[in-house]
């Protein structure tokens, strides 16, 4: 069986996308479907390359039984556009940035996270300058989207 490859993308790959990666991996594992997926995250910028996720993202994830502490930030690479079946941007700015650098044949893989998972045009807000409650709110939004993504992931990715 081919694995479905999903990449979650935000700006620096230390807040939102590591949370999305961790949440989706956790849900897939709980559902006994982890072997079906290759899950990763990246940033459109390289400011935090090699760094651990923001401590507040790690704390919020841990508080919900999700361990993202081993992740390391990385910048999206050209090869990612061919390697992944689905690339989910956390907000419109990141989607635009991805669209500018993606090869033409990969544009169909790019989607806004909430639009693809929940049919909503809303961005996942960047909690970086906020407090614990902002990270909790982002976790809740990502959990809802990842819960919606898991049952449709196989079908959606086979169709693309």
- For the beta sheet containing 110-112, the strands, ordered from the edge strand earlier in sequence to the opposite edge, are 37-43, 4-10, 86-89, 110-112
pLDDT of residue 122: 97
Distance CA 158, CA 4 (A): 8
The verdict on whether 15 is a catalytic residue reads no
Catalytic, out of 16, 25, 56, 74: 16
Q: Which domains does the chain have, with CATH numbers?
A: 4-159 (3.40.50.2300)
pLDDT of residue 2: 78
Give the CA distances from residue 132 to residues 11, 58, 135, 141, in Å, rounded to whole numbers and listed in that order: 19, 11, 5, 14
Per-residue pLDDT of the chain (160 residues; tens, 9 = 90+): 578 999 999 999 999 999 999 999 999 999 999 999 999 999 999 999 999 999 999 999 999 999 999 999 999 999 999 999 999 999 999 999 999 999 999 999 999 999 999 999 999 999 999 999 999 999 999 999 999 999 988 655 544 4
Catalytic, out of 56, 74, 126, 146: 126
Quick check: 73 and 53 in contact, CB under 8 A? yes
pLDDT of residue 155: 57
Between CA 77 and CA 131, with CA 90 as vertex, the angle to 5 degrees is: 115
The verdict on whether 83 is a catalytic residue reads no
Distance CA 26, CA 33 (A): 10
Distance CA 19, CA 23 (A): 6
pLDDT of residue 148: 97
Q: Is the pTM of this model over 0.75?
A: yes
Give phi and psi for 24, each to the nearest 5.
-65, -40
Distance CA 64, CA 121 (A): 26
Task: For residue 38, list its beta bridge partners.
Answer: 5
pLDDT of residue 153: 80
Q: What is the DSSP string of 7-56?
A: EEEESSSSSHHHHHHHHHHHHHHHTT-GGGEEEEEEESS-TTTTPPPPHH
The verdict on whether 126 is a catalytic residue reads yes
Distance CA 27, CA 33 (A): 8
């Amino acid at each position: 069986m081919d694995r479905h490859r999903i990449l979650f993308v935000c700006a620096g790959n230390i807040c939102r996308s590591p949370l999305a990666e961790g949440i989706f991996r956790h849900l897939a594992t709980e559902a006994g479907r982890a072997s079906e997926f290759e899950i990763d995250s990246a940033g459109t910028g390289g400011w935090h390359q090699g760094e651990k996720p923001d401590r507040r993202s790690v704390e919020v994830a841990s508080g919900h039984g999700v361990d993202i502490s081993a992740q390391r930030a990385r910048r999206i690479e050209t090869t990612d556009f061919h390697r992944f079946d689905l690339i989910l941007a956390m907000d419109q700015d990141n989607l635009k940035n991805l669209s500018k650098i993606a090869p033409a044949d990969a544009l169909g893989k790019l989607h806004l996270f909430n639009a693809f998972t929940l049919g909503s045009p809303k961005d996942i807000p960047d909690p970086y300058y906020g407090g614990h409650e902002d990270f909790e709110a982002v976790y809740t939004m990502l959990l809802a989207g990842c819960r919606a993504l898991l049952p449709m992931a196989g079908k959606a990715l086979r169709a693309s």
